[in-house]
Amino acid sequence: MYDEQDTAFTDSIQDVCPIPRNVVGLLGGNHGSRPRYLLWKNGQEITVEVPYHNYDSEYDPDNSEYSEWKLFVKSKRTFAHYLEIIQSHLDEINFGSTNWAYLLHDNTGGFYIRQRDKVFPTVSCPLWAPIIFEEEIQFTVWGQPWDRRGLWNGREVDVFYAWNEINIVQLDRAMYAYRVLVGMDLSFELYGHLLRKDGTVIGLVTEAGKGRLINLSDRTLIYHTIANLQARGCLYRGCGTNQFMISPDGKVRLLEPFSLIPYSPKKLHKLEKDADLWHWKELADLFDELKTYGPFGNYRFPPDRFTATSKQLQLIIPPVGPERPLGGIFLFTSSNFFHTYRIPYWEGFQLIHSRHHGRFSFNQKASITETCCTDSDTASDLSSISDTGDRPLLMITEGSQSRTRRGPIRSRAVFHPYRITRVTLSPTELSESGTSDA
C-alpha cells in the first residue's frame, strides 16, 4: 500500500514570486511547427512567436511511430534553438506595451523583434460572476502557462489563464460548466472572471484546491457522483485522466471543469451512448489502474499547479564569452533541460558533475568560481544581478536564458527560502570531476 500523504496537496501556496525584479522568466511555451514562448518581466507578460517550421515533408507514414517520435524530438530542439536566439533580443522587447511579439528574419540573415497586439476570439458565455482584473492577482506558481496559483485579496487562488486560442475555447467551456455546477457542490468556489485592463476575458479565479487524489476506497463515492452528474444531463470527460480530488471535508471536486459538457433534453439519448465510454468504461479502467499501478494509475497525474515548486529549480549564470560579451543565460530549470529537450549543449557549455554536491552544472572549460552569500545577503546579491540595467536578464522555468556583466561566475539558487551556496573548484578539482581542456 502507498502512503496517502504522497497524494495529498494541502500545503500553503508560496507567497513570493520566484522571478526577481528586472529578470525575464519563461513561463512556458508551445513546440510544434510554430513555437511560442510566454515571457514574464515585473508582472508583465508577452508571447514571442518564431518562424514557421514545416515538418510534414519529414513524416514517414510507413514508420509512423518512429517518425512521430523523431519529429517530436526535432520540434523540441527547434524550441531550444529559438530560445537561445530570443535571449539575445531581450533588449528589443518592450514589456507591457503589447501582448504579442514576433521573431522575424532580417536582410542580413539575423533576426529582429516586432511587437503588436494579438486579438483573440471572445468567449460566448456571458459574465455572471464578480470581475477580477489581472493586476489584482499576485502569481507565484506556474504549473503550465494556463495553470497557475497565487494570491488575491489575501486569499490563495487557482487561476485558469487563457494565453492562446485553445485556452480561450477551454475557458468558454469552463464558464458554462461553472454555471451548470452551481448548487451541486462539486467544484472549488469560483471567485470571479479574470479580465485584462482592456476588458478582455482571459481566465477564471477560484478557491485554491486543497485535498488528496482519489484511491480505491473512493470507488463508490466517485461512481455515485458521476451518476448524479449524468442524471442532470452532463458528461464529464475527466474520468479517464483522474481529474478528481477529495477535499479535506471528504467531498468530490472536479479538477477540469472545461471537460464538463451539458446535453440538451433532446440529446439525452446521445448522452447515454457517450457515457458508456467517457464515464463507465473510463472509470472502470481508472480504478483498475489504481489497483494495478498505485495512486497515480498509468501516469494519471494531477494538474501541474499542485506539484510545481521553485524549490526544485536551479538558477545558473554561465560565464561570458566572445559570442555573449555581456554574459550568458540564466537557466532557471530543474537542471535537466538539455536531457529533456534531447539537444546538444549550447556552444561554450559542457556538463560536469560536481563531486562536492552530486549535481549537474553547466560551465565553460575555464576554472570556475561560484558566487556565495548567506541567507541574509542573498536578496541583495540577486538584486545586484538583476539591476544591471543595460541589458535585461532571462530566467526560465523550463530552460532559461539571460545576460549579466558578471564575468566567469556561476551561481546556484534554491528559492523559498532564497539561498545561494558557495563552492570554488580548482583546475585540479575540475579535472577530477570530468572537465578537460580539450
pLDDT confidence of residue 292: 95
Taking alpha carbons only, the member of 134, 128, 110 closest to residue 199 is 134
The C-alpha cell at 131 is 470581475
Q: How far apart are CA 257 and CA 255, in angstroms?
A: 6
**At a CB cut-off of 8 Å and minimum separation 6, what does 165 contact?**
120, 121
- What is the pTM (predicted TM-score) of this model? 0.74
DSSP class of residue 324 equals B
Length of the chain, please? 438
412 by DSSP, 3-state: which?
coil
Contact 89, 394 (CB under 8 A): no
Q: Encode burial over 144-165: b for 16+ CB neighbours within 10 A, e otherwise.
A: bbbbbbbbbeeebbbbbbbbbe
Query: How far apart, in Å, are the Cα atoms of 91 and each of 207, 391, 398?
Result: 37, 6, 21
59 by DSSP, 3-state: which?
coil
Query: How far apart, in Å, are the Cα atoms of 109 and each of 75, 112, 367?
Result: 21, 10, 35
- pLDDT tens, residue order, the chain (438 aa): 445 557 899 999 989 888 777 777 788 888 888 899 998 888 999 999 999 888 776 777 777 777 777 787 788 888 888 887 887 788 889 999 999 999 999 998 899 999 999 999 999 999 999 999 999 999 999 888 899 999 999 999 999 999 999 999 999 999 999 999 999 999 999 999 999 988 999 999 999 999 999 999 999 999 999 999 999 999 999 999 999 999 999 999 999 999 999 999 999 999 999 999 999 999 999 999 999 999 999 989 999 899 887 665 544 444 445 554 444 344 444 445 555 555 555 544 443 333 333 333 333 322 222 222 223 333 333 333 333 333 333 443 332 333 333 322 222 222 222 222 223 333 443 344 333 333
